[in-house]
Structure 1
Amino acid sequence: MEKEVNPHFEDFLFDWNQKFMFLVGGYGSSKSYHVGLKVILKLLDEKRTALVVREVYDTHRDSTFALLEEIVESMDLSDYIKFVSSPMQVRFPNGSKIIFKGMDKPAKLKSINNVSLIWVEEGSELKYAGYKELIGRLRHPALKLHMIASTNPIGKNNWTYKHFFKDERNKRIVIDDEELYENRSMVVGNTLYHHSTAEDNLFLPRDYIHQLEELKEYDPDLYRIARLGRFGVNGVRVLPQFETAPHMEVMKNIAAINRPLKRVGMDFGFEESYNAVVRLAVDHEKSILYIYWEYYKNQQTDDFTAEDLDEFRETQELIKADSAEPKTIKYFRQQHFNMRGSKKFPGSRLQYTKKVKRFKKIICSDRCENTIYELKDLTYAKNKLGEIILDEFEIDPHTLSAIWYALDDYEVADLKEKLKERQRPNPVRR
């Protein structure tokens, strides 16, 4: 039997040395096709049960199920490999079979036994908990176990990036994604990495590649995903002027400010939210906001948080906090903290965000790791029409809330006001 394949996938098709395989790439790169072909070849060679998973079960019929059927027909094996439509299943003459499941019906995963090969298609759509659950379902008394995940890249806060590349919050680094884009294929530990773009699919019409190129003009986020097959910031950044600098450099710059305005803000949290405290310094003349100190913890009662923040009792720095928590503010005041609630009003989220955006630069000390994690690539949430929502974000940025409260009584000079000031005639002196 002969089968024409794309050269970039030849080694991948027959490489079963690693337990985990992660394929990421752009639209039309043929990664899903070659994963499907790889699975079929393996099940023809060995009697196995393979599980193919997507987030929603019903999406299999027009995607993975149809793709596998197309591959089998192209190999002239339709008389030997049978496709059953209800429930969806593929049966091989040697007893191998492929079953299809969706993570939207997790109870049905519990009945699966002796699965030695799992293919997770469109992995970025799954929840991380679901992926870890699938690893637990991968077991067989004799056969070597394999798990393949294929996906288009989206934002770097997706679990696929954090698991296979970098999780900055938890300081877990496996490899740099830029290294994969350069090498195209590499092995790290027990994982095979594979990157592909439309150029790797020799069967793809040139018109399709031209369409992908056009994305660069009107949708740079989709261009990065579809054309380049790369992870990145997925959406419109809230604070494009945000940057980091070495801590000593930040402190030196703050010391050089003529009458710096120093502020402290605090956002409250407990279970999934965080107690976030930030110290800020404002260079009013240059319109620069410096962030030079942070506190960030959760699942901690107020008495332990008060112990952690004991230095504020000594310094008596004013802490502007979330006024939606008057009981908590009262507790801290009873513990001799100089704390007051900030102003909150309808539309305050939007107004506070606009205020922070007015700074020409926002420079954060490299010691404020949680602030950097939340704000560096913070993007706006979108509604069902794909339009950005100006007071909602893709994550809940507790450090941004703390900055809001810290700047409660400070106004950043608006560019329009500055221009008006310049255009006003000088007063006539008599």
Structure 2
Amino acid sequence: MMEKEINPRFDEFLFDWSTKFQFLVGGYGSSKSYHVALKLIMKLLQEKRTALVVREVYDTHRDSTFSLLEEIIIDLDLDSRVRCISSPMQIRFPNGSKIIFKGMDKPAKLKSINNISIVWLEECSEIKYAGFKELLGRLRHPTLKLHMILSTNPVSKNNWCYKHFFKDEKKKYFVLDDEELYRKKTIIINNTYYHHSTADDNLFLPPEYIEQLEELKTHDPDLHRIARKGEFGINGSRVFPQFSVAAHEEVMDHIQKIERPLKRSGMDFGFEDSYNALLRVAVDRKNLILYIYWEYYKNKTTDDVTAEEIIEFQKNREEIRADSAEPKTIAYYSRKGFRMRGAKKFQGSRLQYTKKIKRFKKIICSDRCVNTIEELKYLTFKINREGEMQEDEFNIDPHTLSAIWYALDDYDVVDLKRAY
């Protein structure tokens, strides 16, 4: 016997295994991931099964799905019987059930798994459609009923999740009107259990959290629609709608007033068609504001020339975080006395870093950083041949954005979605 207080909105969902697909979409803080994890644990305690939990990037499991499942197991006082193994990440149950974790950034490792009867795709909108179809092929068992649970925040109607589970107007494909789901909250159709939720459905959230979500309405309407209302939509083409320009003196005055500002420098390398882009940025961690106040932006200059032009960084012993894909260049600058190190890059880092920068409430750029303004003010997402928005590709190659990525590579902007 176990007792666990849950949100009433998820009461029916926890015990409904009538369909093959279960698609949960909702805003930040709605507790959908928590209740998927709880549902999975209860099922595997009752039946001997192997469940596969998938995210686009394997390493993100540790601080998300694995951590969440472990937290629930401890909270239910099951940790003496259910083993949470951290390396490699897996969870083993006393009846022989187990949960294994995989990432689509390491597809070769999917080939070695067998007898998977449940798959959970967390943040399924980040997974490619080809990956979703590959996982369908991995979902097989000779005797057990098969289930796939997909959970996501509602990004764009151009995303494959919307086109597959709702409608694709271009292909004249229709399953369900998303507006109907927002009204009814739960719908079962085509062997799929649809579930919609928002922060209002999470009775354990403090009022301050919902107030933060409401604030998004003023500085990022698209994110407000996603985070607060939990609704799909046509995203604005601008990557950073919160980007603005201010007089240099005003920017520096704001930075001086920040209590313990985080100051960083990042550099992207280039020569012929691309550029050496070196930026200084400052972060107001309390108010979630990113300031960009200095830039160096040139191409067709050799490293020795560039080193002379940015010599102030060497003299001031100012650290530069740079593109780790250029170890020889970093080694050259290090020999010249610069404090330069490679920033962390990984499969899927473009998408993850872009999402991180989008979490700032404001991005304020000095009017002296003319190249940064030119690249970022009207930066838009790239559209592929099928008319779909590519959330990790842009209409140009923004070298200044890469410099910001590297500058903030190990700084994590407060993510409202993961806060509760």
TM range (shorter): 0.5 to 0.7
* Aligned partner of residue 383 in structure 2, secondary structure: coil
Say if 2:364 is the partner of 1:394.
no
Please state how far the C-alpha of 1:391 moved relative to its aligned partner: 7.7
Aligned residues: 256
Name the residue aligned to 1:85: 86
Please state how far the C-alpha of 1:74 moved relative to its aligned partner: 1.2
Name the residue aligned to 1:225: 226
Percent of pairs with identical residues: 70
Q: Deviations over 1:226-256 (max 9, x none)?
A: 0000000112479xxxxxxxxxxxxxxxxxx
Say if 2:99 is the partner of 1:98.
yes
Please state how far the C-alpha of 1:384 moved relative to its aligned partner: 9.2
Q: Deviations over 1:92-131 (max 9, x none)?
A: 0000000000000000000000000000000010000000
Structure 1 residues 144 and 224: alpha-carbon distance in aligned structure 2, compared to 1, 3 A threshold = same
Name the residue aligned to 2:40: 39
Q: Deviations over 1:45-72 (max 9, x none)?
A: 0000000000000000000000001111
Higher relative contact order (CA 8 A, sep 6+): 2
Please state how far the C-alpha of 1:389 moved relative to its aligned partner: 6.4
Structure 1 residues 398 and 66: alpha-carbon distance in aligned structure 2, compared to 1, 3 A threshold = closer
Name the residue aligned to 2:210: 209
Say if 2:74 is the partner of 1:73.
yes
Say if 2:54 is the partner of 1:53.
yes
Structure 1 residues 397 and 92: alpha-carbon distance in aligned structure 2, compared to 1, 3 A threshold = closer
Q: What is the TM-score with the length of structure 1 in the denominator?
A: 0.57
Does structure 2 retain, via aligned residues, the 8 Å contact 1:155–1:232? yes
Structure 1 residues 385 and 6: alpha-carbon distance in aligned structure 2, compared to 1, 3 A threshold = closer
Structure 1 residues 384 and 48: alpha-carbon distance in aligned structure 2, compared to 1, 3 A threshold = closer
Structure 1 residues 139 and 24: alpha-carbon distance in aligned structure 2, compared to 1, 3 A threshold = same
CA distance in 2, matches of 1:31, 1:398: 31
Name the residue aligned to 2:172: 171
CA distance in 1, matches of 2:357, 2:209: 25
CA distance in 2, matches of 1:383, 1:209: 20
CA distance in 2, matches of 1:396, 1:128: 14
* Aligned partner of residue 120 in structure 2, secondary structure: strand
Structure 1 residues 91 and 231: alpha-carbon distance in aligned structure 2, compared to 1, 3 A threshold = same
Does structure 2 retain, via aligned residues, the 8 Å contact 1:383–1:389? no
RMSD: 2.1
Task: For 1:265-280, list aligned pairs within 5 A.
Answer: none
CA distance in 2, matches of 1:123, 1:3: 27
CA distance in 2, matches of 1:91, 1:237: 45
Does structure 1 retain, via aligned residues, the 8 Å contact 2:124–2:161? yes
Q: Deviations over 1:393-413 (max 9, x none)?
A: 5315799xxxxxxxxxxxxxx
Name the residue aligned to 1:414: none
Q: Deviations over 1:353-386 (max 9, x none)?
A: xxxxxxxxxxxxxxxxxxxxxxxxxxxxx99966
CA distance in 2, matches of 1:230, 1:57: 27
* Aligned partner of residue 85 in structure 2, secondary structure: strand
**What letter matches 2:155 in structure 1?**
I
Does structure 1 retain, via aligned residues, the 8 Å contact 2:29–2:198? yes
Q: Deviations over 1:177-206 (max 9, x none)?
A: 000000000101100000000010001111
Name the residue aligned to 1:3: 4
* Aligned partner of residue 394 in structure 1, secondary structure: strand
Structure 1 residues 171 and 203: alpha-carbon distance in aligned structure 2, compared to 1, 3 A threshold = same
CA distance in 1, matches of 2:130, 2:14: 28
Say if 2:113 is the partner of 1:112.
yes
Task: For 1:280-295, list aligned pairs within 5 A.
Answer: none
Does structure 1 retain, via aligned residues, the 8 Å contact 2:238–2:380? no
* Aligned partner of residue 24 in structure 1, secondary structure: strand
Higher Rg of the two aligned structures: 1
**What letter matches 1:231 in structure 2?**
F
Does structure 2 retain, via aligned residues, the 8 Å contact 1:118–1:148? yes
Structure 1 residues 82 and 125: alpha-carbon distance in aligned structure 2, compared to 1, 3 A threshold = same
CA distance in 2, matches of 1:92, 1:74: 16
Please state how far the C-alpha of 1:77 moved relative to its aligned partner: 0.7
Structure 1 residues 219 and 137: alpha-carbon distance in aligned structure 2, compared to 1, 3 A threshold = same
Structure 1 residues 206 and 107: alpha-carbon distance in aligned structure 2, compared to 1, 3 A threshold = same
Between 1:35-44 and 1:167-176, the stretch displaced more is 167-176
Task: For 1:105-184, list aligned pairs within 5 A.
Answer: 105-184=106-185
Please state how far the C-alpha of 1:214 moved relative to its aligned partner: 0.8
